[in-house]
Amino acid sequence: MEFLKNKLKNPKFCVSIAIHNSTKLNSVITNAFASGAHLAEIRLDSLNSFSFNQINKLSNVYKNRLIFTFRSKNQGGLSKISESDRIQKLIQLLDLKHSIKDIEYDTFLSHSSIFNDEKNLIVSWHNFKSTPSTNSMENQIKKISTKLKHPEQIIKVVTYANSLNDCNKVFDLYPRFEKSKFQLLAFCMSETGSITRVLSPILGAPFIYCFTGTKSVAPGQINLNILKEIYSNFS
């Protein structure tokens, strides 16, 4: 029990924000941090419109606390812009000095020479239907890791859990990369997969994605207040 208390004493919470109206973005971010979030993920692909100047101002105000991502369609993205325009927006994000950038694994592998110098980088891989074997996921992670350059960089693996065995597959990834020169953030979507969100800090996940309000951004995501209540039992 003492081991669990030490591991779960100070987990970091990242609130996912996927709204349409960019004029409300600042207030939503402010509310997330006021609720106890340490980080906020901004889904730029969900916004009806935004300017780089607006994003840059937010980055400078909330230094190193914002994660910007612009998801591709095959990785759950909501925007209808062309793929070439999307990549240009991702490249533009590199000019933000005080933020974290989340790039899809296939985009990263195709343009690694552009993105791999960015220290504040998350490379994400999602499977929205199932959870492959642990060996298969391990090989995918290794493929990505060969292009990384900095220990601050994160590889994020998110799968869909159809059973508790799927959760075990993801848990088994952590000891395989315990001594790697990057950070691993792996968990499952779905209600069954919620347990992986709660327990991932024990295994080394740098933070946990959650939501505020009444609507989650992803299947199985847990409300921030509920997470805080869960972890208060270990304080």
Q: For residue 60, what is the domain's CATH number? A: 3.20.20.70
Q: How many domains does the chain have?
A: 1
pLDDT for residue 154 is more than 60? yes
- Whether this prediction's pTM lies above 0.85 is answered by yes
| Distance from chain centroid for Cα 181 | 18
Residue 45 tokens, joined: 């692909």
Q: What is the DSSP string of 9-68?
A: SS--EEEEE--S-GGGHHHHHHHHHHTT-SEEEEEGGGSS---HHHHHHHHHHSTTTEEE
pLDDT digits (tens, 9 = 90+) for 69-108: 998 877 777 778 888 999 999 999 999 989 999 999 999 9
Q: Which pLDDT score, from 0 to 100, does residue 4 have?
A: 54
Question: Mean pLDDT across the chain, nearest whole number?
Answer: 92
Q: Report the amino acid identity of residue 182.
A: F
Q: Which pLDDT score, from 0 to 100, does residue 125 have?
A: 95
Residue 201 tokens, joined: 């800090």
pLDDT for residue 8 is more than 80? no
Q: Which pLDDT score, from 0 to 100, does residue 79 have?
A: 78
Q: Pick from 46, 38, 51: which is nearest to 17 by CA?
A: 46
Q: Which pLDDT score, from 0 to 100, does residue 114 have?
A: 93
Report the alpha-carbon distance of residue 205 to residue 170 in Å, rounded.
12
Specify the higher pLDDT residue, 77 or 151: 151
Domain that holds residue 130: 2-232
pLDDT for residue 169 is more than 80? yes
Q: Please report, rounded to a whole number, the percentage of residues in the chain having pLDDT higher than 90.
A: 81
Report the alpha-carbon distance of residue 106 to residue 80 in Å, rounded.
18
